[in-house]
Structures are given as structure tokens and as C-alpha cells.
Structure 1
């Protein structure tokens, strides 16, 4: 009724085990190395091992650690805030001088206007009240002695 292997159980297979072949430890050999050209593609270096094998590859320079950044004694933000405050104080001083200058200029112009009004008004008063008898403007009316009899004018 049941098959030899049920469908949900996989069939067993033979297991193959591979063991790596160990190499004998290599003694330090002073084999000639090909020098590496700076700022160019490194040359391929070949080393002949004592057992006759040749190992070829690129020479790898050791990785240099990143230099540690030294923090300044004063932060840049503090310097910027201080410079901004100094600039603000300079601007406030300039604005104070500017407002003082504008107030002085306004007072000077006001005094000039008052002086012009006084001089012009004096000139007009002299023209009106002068004793020259020189009057060119206006209408001259001569009044003669008139006789009024019984509410009638006889001229």
C-alpha cells in the first residue's frame, strides 16, 4: 500500500567527503621581488617557494589608519556667534550716528525755513509801512468835501 519511499521523505544518497591536502609549512625565503612603481599599476611579483612552486601576485601595501582630526579649542559656532554680535554692535552704533545726523539736519532745515520767513515777512512789512508815499498798487480814491442837505448828496 505504501511505496518504498514516501513522497515527503527524500531518497538517501551516498555522501562523498573530500579532505584538503595539507601543504608543509614554508620556511621564510628571501626570494627576489619585483619593485612596485609608485602611482602606477603595481607590477606582478613572483616568489619561488622551496618546494619549487611559484606564487604570483600583486604586492599589497598595509592599510594606513585615518588620521585623527584635532578639534579646535573654540567651536566654529561660537566664533560665528561672537562675530555676529560684534557686527550687530557696529551696525547699532552706525544707526545711532545716522539718526543723530538726521535729527541735526532736520533742525538745521527748520531753522533755515524760519529765518527765511522772518526775513521775507520783514521785507513785506517794510513795503507796507514805508513812508515814501510811493504806492503803485491799488486804486486811488479822492474824497472831496461833500455837502449833505436834507439827506441828499450834492457833490
Structure 2
């Protein structure tokens, strides 16, 4: 039925209208008062918007990033490489000294062998040449020799 109490056609449905019910305002509890140090009260800032309105509020300090831990001026890997290089140089220095020592020892042994050969060879030569003089052998002086048919006539 319509508001004037006339019957409705069978294809239409009734429309119901609901009016919102206003809620009573809530009583807000007072905000707790926080004691603020006198030096930490932020300054109030006002901004004029392009349409002429003024917005006033506290300035918010930007968030400070956490301090980055100080890195050493030289990385640990570089220190390890440098120490390895120093150790390698120390080993190479020792190897050079060892090589020099071995070369000097080899030269010394070679000189000893050469000296022994000269002295021993000289001793043998003295023995050989002095052996003919000390043995009482016959000395033959050939001044004029005639060889006839493989016979020696002296």
C-alpha cells in the first residue's frame, strides 16, 4: 500500500525508509598530564596553506638514524694478506740465505777437493821421480849407436 492507503500493483515492493538515530556525545576522559622538561618542549610552527588557512602544530624532529659502528680504516682481510706477505718474505729471505750457504759450502768443498788433488798429485809425482834416483840402477849413456839388422851395437 501507498502512504495514501491505496493498493499497490503486484509487481512493486514496499520501500522502507530508516532514519539514523543520533548517538549521544561520549564524555571523553581527560588526557593524562605528562611532566615535560622545560628545555625539551618543541617549538610551535605555523604553516599558511595556499587557500589561506593556517595550520599550527608542533615541529617534529626527523628521526635520527642509528649511529653506524665505526669501521676500522683497514679491513681485516687486508691485514691478513699483508701479514701473509710479510711471512712469505721472511721465508724467502731465509731460503735465499740457505741457498747462499749451500752455494758457499759447495764452493768450499770443491776447493778442498782441488787442493787435495793437487797435493796428492804432487806427492805422487815426487814419489815417481824420486824412485828412479834412489834405486841403484845402471845408467847407460848412448853417444853413438849403430843399428844393423835389428841388432844393437854400442
Bucket of the pairwise TM-score, normalised by the shorter protein: 0.3 to 0.5
Larger-gyration structure (1/2):
2
| Bigger RCO (CA 8 Å, 6+ sep) | 1
Query: TM-score, structure 2 length as denominator?
Result: 0.41
Structure with bigger helix share is: 2
Query: TM-score, structure 1 length as denominator?
Result: 0.41
